[in-house]
Amino acid sequence: MGKTTFCSRTCTQILSTSLGKPVLQVPELANLTALPDVSISHSQNFYVAVVSSVGLQVGIDLQKLNAVRTNDWLDVAFSSLELAILTQFLQKNSTC
């Protein structure tokens, strides 16, 4: 297990499972509450992390791409409702 430790008033560690998924460990909270899920990714000199609400699982992956065809990933990444909301937002907030 890999380990990163942040200590202030409590000691928080980010450990990793055998599959490499990061997990939070805060001994002071272990018997009091569930901890949020966390995901960390990096690609070249870019890094990203996400923390969920308790009870939700998250996962994030970051890849630097040389070329992207927008429609290739939009249809996979978003539902039709999300695409409609995104389109409406972009139309409303466009400065062009």
Phi-psi domain of 44 (left: phi exceeds 0; alpha: psi -120 through 50; beta: other): left
Q: For 60-91, what is each residue's pLDDT tens digit?
A: 888 877 776 667 777 788 888 988 998 888 88
Q: For 10-51, what is each residue's pLDDT tens digit?
A: 688 888 889 888 888 888 877 788 888 899 998 888 899 999
